[in-house]
Chains A and B, each alone.
Chain A
């Protein structure tokens, strides 16, 4: 493959494939035309209309409320899970690893369905709280994997040095390991936050009346609503995603310098 141009061409094709639909969507959000087939001039009218859609802002509030709560819990539990998986290698941890790994690949619809049945069986009221529980469930795995990857590159001699100098296990973990791992934990938390904000399938299954999240609102807009409004909303969300990815990259760079 040394002289072959195939890898380069495939990579370019993949990038065009990834970005063409996104670029068309962003351009169309500024198009005065309703269907976007033709360019009818630059316009911000869709953004202006978006501003007055109270339902969207209400659903955004729900989404952020769930995302902050789920991220907080999942970051703590995911981090402790990563510590356990990295430090101990018992049978318990092998089972623990399977429990953490499986939710990453299981289709979302199965997780949504099984959680819905659990809540129905328990007679729980579907709403923001059930969505929160569901989000923590899938976020734990992602946080654990990101932190675990960091732990594998981590130089544990620093922790051993602290212990040689008289620090106990907890002191060494709390005062030495945790601060050094903070960028990795923050990257895991950012991923959890993004996944929580974006989740549609699982939320849709466990949502109840009055707990519409932003993705559920977007889905019903795609099904019944006005396309240009979704273009405008999507463009704003893409902007948020770029900022989050950039932040996550910054956290990673910081890690490389230490």
Chain B
């Protein structure tokens, strides 16, 4: 009995620091977002006293449905493209020799560690009207001098895929590395065509990695703000841009909160579904993988 009591004490001691910190600075603030959405805004950019539904009414802004729709399709497209590129890459890495694998892993990890702003800026340089890609396209007569490669939704999608791809490759590779490739041979021996073996044996075999990859690409995509801000234009804004504008330009925190609360709900749906599907802890493919 005393032993059990002591173990409980140890548990609380090692759990308390992170638990309390995250409860105070992550969990409670999330509830505050929902509360402030029901507060009135003051002209000076503060939060007024009392409660109000004004902010919720102002969400019926006619621009919002288009922005929400764009946010959703860009996130879906980003996720689909990232998975389509990450699965063959993860497959190749898992089958490669140890040396090649280590080297490839290093090459995938470097972008993961590189400043996100710099990686976005690099595309702005590359696609700049006087930049190399534009010049090459004009030279090959594939683009007019007046075409802009920047500031449209297509460019936002391209840079989103670029930014989130390492997050998709790492969990898929981690799952593929543990996959028993003899299963594919067995399926082929039993008469399955290569492609069929790939879809019916390999993909189900790495499903945990796939689910983690979908989660870590789709959810952050929904909240993108810097990418459309830097390489997008007024016609490629996402919800994140609106939250930032309400916060920094208009200084209307209740309005920004209402938008954030909406985004939180949108993000929670796939997150809860995924946590539920993945079941208990310890079974996820690791999100961070530094080494084979």
Contact = CB atoms under 8 A, between A and B. Distances in A.
Interface string B94-121: 0100000000101111110111111101
Interface string A31-75: 000011100000000000000000000000000000000000000
Interface residues of B, number: 100
A189 interface: no
Given A21-B162, A107-B224, A198-B115, A11 B92 contact: yes
Interface string A68-104: 0000000011101101110110101110111111111
A79 B29 CA distance: 24
B267 A218 contact: no
Nearest to A106: B267
A194 B290 CA distance: 14
B37 to A, nearest CB: 10
Scoring B15, B128, B184, B216 by chain A CB atoms within 10 A of each residue's CB, the highest score goes to: B15
B23 A99 contact: yes
Contacts of A20: 126
Main secondary structure of the interface of A (DSSP, over half): helix
Given A96-B18, A110-B264, A249-B290, A218 B219 contact: no
A24 B282 CA distance: 41
A249 B281 CA distance: 26
A97 B283 CA distance: 12
| A-B interface, 8 closest residue pairs, ranked by CB to CB distance from nearest | A107-B223, A114-B29, A81-B18, A21-B122, A7-B92, A37-B130, A10-B88, A252-B291
9 contacts: A15-B107, A18-B108, A18-B166, A104-B216, A107-B222, A194-B113, A215-B117, A245-B110, A253-B291
Given A80-B17, A107-B223, A194-B113, 18 more contacts: A2-B188, A10-B92, A17-B162, A35-B130, A78-B18, A99-B22, A105-B215, A107-B267, A110-B263, A113-B243, A114-B29, A115-B25, A117-B36, A142-B288, A222-B121, A223-B230, A227-B125, A249-B106
Interface of B: 10-11, 13-15, 17-19, 21-23, 25-30, 32-33, 36, 46-47, 85-86, 88-89, 91-93, 95, 104, 106-111, 113-119, 121-126, 128, 130-132, 134-135, 162, 165-166, 169, 184, 188, 194-195, 197-198, 202, 215-216, 219-220, 222-226, 230, 240, 243-244, 247, 253, 256-257, 260, 263-264, 267, 271, 275, 280-282, 284, 286-291
